Chain A
Amino acid sequence: MKLTLLWTDIMVWFLVISLLVWSRVISRSPQVKKQWHTIFKSSIAMASAIILLFYLLFTLLDSVHLRFSTQPTETKSEKVQYQGEIVSLLDLIFAHNIKSTERTYSAPFATHEYAMSIVVDENGVTKQEYLPLKHVGDGDDIVGQSIYAVFIGLIISGVLILVHMVWRKKRGFKSELPWRTAYLTLLFLVVTFSWFYILSYYYHVLGTDKVGGDVLYQSLKSIRTGVLIGILTTLIMLPVAIILGVSAGLFGGWIDDVIQYLYTTLSSIPGVLLIAAGVLSMQVMMDNNPGWFESTLERSDLRLLFLIMILGITSWTGLCRLLRAETLKISQIEFVTAAKAFGVGKLTIIRRHIIPNLMHIILISVVLDFSGLVLAEAVLSYVGVGVDPTMHSWGNMINQARLEMAREPMVWWSLFSAFVFMFILVLAANLLSDRIQTVLDPRNKL
């Protein structure tokens, strides 16, 4: 067994670690701590945060890739041979779903295929009938299995909540945060997941797609794609936007002119077209350099990385413009003038006075952009300039299912699952960003 980290894996782990470090650093400031406290006082914000964490957990599980060694052969070579196939932790958890592919479409919890097939029975008579699915139970004990699954879910969430309560008591927090909402959300999520998970051993809980793949597994795999596009794009564009925005606002003169020219030019190109042009060129480039990747997984990963970079290039302009205007405003305020008069260096002024006062703008735009990017992924995949067609993503799921709309009765489950998974993520992000905006934006003093 060998750990194989893809490029995006490395970036997502780097991001998580730097977020942890950052939260450690800012928790030293009592003022910032109080702000976050106010944010999470709202039960909606708390519930949204728990849901987002749940999605993040799946992303992280799907971002640890392993490569198993093949069975030891007779020839005693010292070198361990590795399989070409790379699997993530999430794949291991859902191994039974990967194996149990059916022939074609089947509805959620179905025991038979969705469409009739022509069979010839032993008497040589040709007839049409619904073939039974290969990898499902008989559908008898669904209630018993559900009760068992919910019970397991309750135990797991109960233990988690208990541990947290004990830990809280030990730390002696006297916080008035809405912990009850948090516990209820967690309970709901864990029970739902355990119900889906345990029943997925007996049924295709959300049905199967055209080639018989399990839709629940696909939807869960798509989480990583969506979340990655949402957060890594921001990670790439943030430094550019901050550096250019602050220097344009602070230094003025020709630097300001050049930076303004840069972002006006970039933002005057229609976004989708710039992305399309970038992705098309990237495709040609990747076709010309097949040596950059070894497997299809690495190829689709590289394509995702390029897509994220292109999205980053097109999306920094808005934030940059905001930061420039705000820096211009802040640098006129007395405390910056005073710092200048004391002979404080420019870098120190930026670090001490400007960046902390820009933090709320950066944060708000990061959370706001996140939901927009998750939704954009679906549209881009539809246009044909999104992630690799072999990669699991909500956009690809919608795109494939869309072609089946004309069928009677409709194949609705792929579309439905993709939209629901996307809706929950985006709704949680939107609600949280609303709350952050209300608390942090100084214009919103209630």
Chain B
Amino acid sequence: MFAYIIRRVLYAIPILIGVNLITFILFFMVNSPDDMARAQLGAKQVTPELIQSWKEDKGYDKPLFINSKTGGINTVTDTLFVQESLKLFSFNFGFSDANRDIGSDIKERMVPSLAIALPTFMIALITNISLALLLVLFRGSALDTSMMIIAVMIMSVSGLFYIIAGQVLFSKIWHWVPISGYESGWGGIKFIILPVMIGVFAGIGSGVRWYRSIFLEQINQDYVRTARAKGLSELRVLFGHVLRNGMLPILTGVVVVIPTLFMGSLIMESFFGIPGLGSYTIDAINSQDFAIVKAMVFLGSVLYIVGLILTDISYTLFDPRVKLS
């Protein structure tokens, strides 16, 4: 088990190097350090000397991939790509354009992001699975068909609509909750309720359909027929057999998402003024702050890969047939 995890982590390294290469190409080759210097210094007083000193200041004066000036191993290592990648691998994200430490910013903003993302995730999981089980119980009935049509309709509405409609209804007209803002501690609940509810509702259409199809696949299996033949009630069959065996495909989809919850939701956070990582990213995109975007890309990929590894591990815990090798 332990050896397997080590191997998976090692396997993640080339992928992260690949991710770095992609971001590097996007940020340093398409948009060369000279361009960045010009954009940062403003168009007016750009002299080659100023650009040079800016590049030295930021450490961008090295060649991109191959440094022919130095000999030996330094030809490859003393380059912008390797230096930048090493910095990211040690989670040293450097400073943003506004000269703030990105690493500590991220640490600070993770909590508000989780305050929204975690409740949304948990409530959505429970509602979607219970609704799907209900529909499977009444499969083929009028309830099932009409709920499926409603699910497609919910799916077809833009998520932005739910946010805007929710804000107008609950904050502007009924004044139940404040329209946006954030507060740490229990007092923050009034700010969190609306985004969480909207997040759950927006995902309910696709979620219920997905879980329903998983359960329907199980319900035609032989073991379900055997269970029924034994005289088990339909409810016992559903909870004892269908739900338990459906857990496996559900795990694949769910566990991989959990680490990425830290990244927060871009749209939700910026609409509700929550100082999390999502709004951090959006602000960075709008102000074209490449350093932050790069850090978020790297962080997102790391979390996704952690999710993949967790998925594999959770398999062995839930399914005795799967042996890690």
Contact = CB atoms under 8 A, between A and B. Distances in A.
Contacts, number: 125
A276 B160 contact: no
Interface in B273-325: 281-282, 285-286, 288, 290, 293-294, 296-297, 300-301, 304-305, 308
Interface string A271-305: 01110111011111100100000000000000000
Interface in B1-59: 14-15, 18-19, 22-23, 26-27, 30-31, 35, 39
A69 interface: no
B158 interface: yes
Interface string B205-219: 000000000000100
Contact of A265 (B18, B260, B266): B18
B282 A383 contact: yes
Interface stretch (B117-125, B148-156, B239-247): B148-156
Contacts of A266: 22
B22 A269 contact: yes
Contact of B152 (A273, A281, A284, A427): A427
B19 A269 contact: yes
B296 A273 contact: yes
Contacts of B26: 277-278, 280-281
Given A261-B14, A277-B293, A434-B152, A268 B301 contact: yes
A423 B26 CA distance: 34
A257 to B, nearest CB: 11
B94 to A, nearest CB: 16
A272 B152 contact: no
A262 B304 CA distance: 15
A265 B160 contact: no
A198 B26 CA distance: 49
A283 B288 CA distance: 10
Given A272-B266, A273-B300, A410-B168, A261 B157 contact: no
A278 B297 CA distance: 12
A427 B217 CA distance: 25
B28 to A, nearest CB: 10
A162 to B, nearest CB: 33
A426 B301 contact: no
B164 A402 contact: yes
Contacts of B19: 265, 268-269
B272 to A, nearest CB: 13
B266 A383 contact: yes
Contacts of B172: 405, 410
A309 B227 CA distance: 52
Nearest to A425: B156
A356 interface: no
A385 interface: yes
Interface stretch (A79-87, A151-159, A182-190, A374-382): A374-382
B161 interface: yes
B267 interface: yes
B168 A268 contact: no
Contacts of A285: 30-31
Given A268-B15, A405-B168, A281 B304 contact: no
Given A280-B26, A283-B288, A426-B155, 16 more contacts: A261-B14, A262-B18, A264-B15, A268-B301, A270-B304, A273-B300, A276-B293, A277-B23, A277-B27, A280-B31, A384-B285, A385-B285, A398-B164, A405-B172, A419-B160, A430-B155
Interface of A: 261-262, 264-270, 272-274, 276-278, 280-285, 288, 371, 375, 378-379, 382-385, 394, 398, 402, 405, 410, 415, 419, 422-423, 426-427, 430-431, 434, 443
8 closest pairs, A vs B, by CB? A265-B18, A270-B300, A427-B156, A281-B30, A426-B156, A268-B301, A284-B31, A268-B304
12 contacts: A265-B22, A273-B293, A273-B300, A277-B293, A277-B297, A280-B26, A284-B30, A371-B156, A378-B160, A379-B159, A419-B160, A427-B152
